[in-house]
Chains A and B, each alone.
Chain A
Amino acid sequence: MLEITDLKKSFRTPEGRMVEVVNLESFTFAAGAQAALRGESGSGKTTLLNLIAGIVTADSGTVRIDGAEMTALPEAGRDRLRAEKIGYIFQTFNLLQGHTALENVLLGMGFGPRGADRSQARQLLERVGLAHRLDHFPRQLSTGQQQRVAVARALANRPALVLADEPTGNLDRRHAAEALTLIREICRESGAALLLVSHDETALAQFGQVGDFAALNRAVREACA
């Protein structure tokens, strides 16, 4: 479902130096699988997810999702593929503050192939336990509730792959465990693969399959060498 080959990405530092952040020789991920990648802050985890999602363009290499080569697509194609195939749960949730919980989910659907479906958005929010918070704005929700809106939004387009970037980073231990359980359950129910990156050992402990991003990412290895 997800195949990554020789993926490289460098950034220019404010001093003008080019720094390689991601250098991934090979990474594959099966449909419906759930796995986590362990990595310290600044190790390039978010960049990897952004490369997979087509938010950032790779310097070289390929990212293939469900047979479609993200890295070969023009920007409009990447936008479309992202909307159709990928659900993204951001560390800071990235909810739209001027929109209600329901509207955040509707907007998640709006750019996908099926378009906005109010009843489905409502069902999703009910599934994450927010049936009574549909018309609340993010500022009116607790951090845990915001997280659940973000989860519902990520699943809104029935994606093949859900990317979760430190999804428990802003939650306390109890809410983090609950959130992770919810994310995993919902992905399992919808058949979406889940790739989570985190440095939180408690979160990682919930996954049977945990990879070490530092070991996979040659850029980190070379920087440490």
Chain B
Amino acid sequence: MTLWLIIRRSLRQHALSTLVSAGSIALAAGLMMCVWMVKTQAHAVFTATNTGFEAVLGARGSKLQLVLNAIFHLEASPGNVAASDYEAIKRHPAVRTAIPIAVGDNLRGYRIVGTLPEFFAVEYVPGKSFAVQPGGRFFTDGEREAVVGSFAARRLGLKIGDTFQPYHGLNFDPNALHEEVYTVTGVLAPTNTPADRVLWIPLSGVQTMSGHDPRAATDVSAVLIQLRAPTAGFMLDMMYNRQGNRLTLAFPVGTIIAELFNKISWFDRVLALVAGLVALVAAGSVLASSYSSMSARRRDLAILRALGAKRRTVFSAVLGEAAVIGMIGAVAGFAVYFLLYLGVAEVILAQTGVVLPVTAWHPVLAAAPLGMIGLCLLGGLLPAVQAYRLSVADTLAPTS
């Protein structure tokens, strides 16, 4: 009780430096947790996102570009796939489902994707199929109707019965308005997948949109594929990627995204380094704060010693103070972590439609706060040793 009273009062007496130190610890702990969690969760979520398809067939080019374009609706299409190629893969005995998509238009930056109604029957995660919110329905093939992803609908303010005119291109250009008018027939129930950011219209709508090249009116941008057996993917990989030279098969989708993460792993390391440096600066701040307050506290500590406090008591008081600063910082670090993580998750959601789980657990959520408390203890060690070695007589008593 006595030790806690000493620590509590000292922290209050030096409230400003306590707050600054705890704040820097919170920032460091929060930053470390956020960097780590975003990295691990993004890796886990993105590599698991395939909207129910194991492979993507597209024009010859980068597999990553193909996956980003067809699954995540991010990149430009690497080119078109001829209708005959689509028909061929559709009839292939190893293929269970082949759904074509066509891209090339947008509505105020949100991508418009043409596909077949069968797309909505696919389970985007095991056991879950696309559904429209109450009052809506999926579009009818061949009609100028649209089903809007939940995120896009919210951002664009679209609801059932609303109409819109697509803009040409994947990026919004107000001067590139198509003349066709589409009516919203449904809004997708949230799927937490990239499909939420898309306006879905019939395949033929994109293929025959005014201003599009009529020679490509039967082409598709990519074909999303479900296989009858996973091993079939290796056979198709051999057929399209090694023996053929016109098309690219991206398989398996998760592995291709994992390769992307490997390519940008240097960025993770830079972020981790920055977080580590912030942690060191925070620990240094505790050391500097404890050390500079020691001169002001020497007299108080000497008085405590004169009252009968043992050397180890004042040592513990100073070290305990550093630990409490660390603990306050660690607790506040969770607030910083959640704010940063929610911010990053919101950006990722807005950019990709992928939701990072907020309640995910990882050992770093324990290691980072405990590590910061450890660093604080290390920072408080030197002032604590000074307190331990304090001479009561020299500090307190004149030799009269």
Contact = CB atoms under 8 A, between A and B. Distances in A.
A50 B397 contact: yes
A83 B309 CA distance: 8
Contacts of A46: 397-400
The listed residue with most A CB atoms (<10 A of its CB), out of B1, B304, B308, B310, is B308
Contact of B307 (A44, A50, A83): A83
A113 B176 CA distance: 88
A41 interface: yes
B189 interface: no
Interface in B366-400: 392-393, 396-400
Contacts of B310: 76, 79-80, 111
B-side interface size class: 20 to 34
B80 interface: no
Contact of A55 (B1, B5, B6, B392): B392
B144 interface: no
A8 interface: no
A53 interface: yes
Nearest to B398: A46
Contact of B399 (A47, A96, A115): A47
Contacts of B13: 97-98
Interface string A103-130: 1001110111001100000000000000
A66 interface: no
Nearest to A44: B400
A46 to B, nearest CB: 5
Contacts of A98: 9-10, 12-13, 300
Nearest to A51: B393
Given A44-B400, A110-B1, A55 B393 contact: yes
B84 interface: no
A41 B398 CA distance: 10
A55 B399 contact: no
Interface of B: 1-2, 5-6, 9-10, 12-13, 299-300, 303-311, 313, 392-393, 396-400
Given A55-B397, A88-B306, A111-B304, 15 more contacts: A42-B400, A43-B400, A46-B398, A56-B397, A79-B305, A79-B310, A83-B307, A90-B306, A96-B303, A96-B304, A107-B2, A107-B5, A110-B5, A111-B310, A115-B1
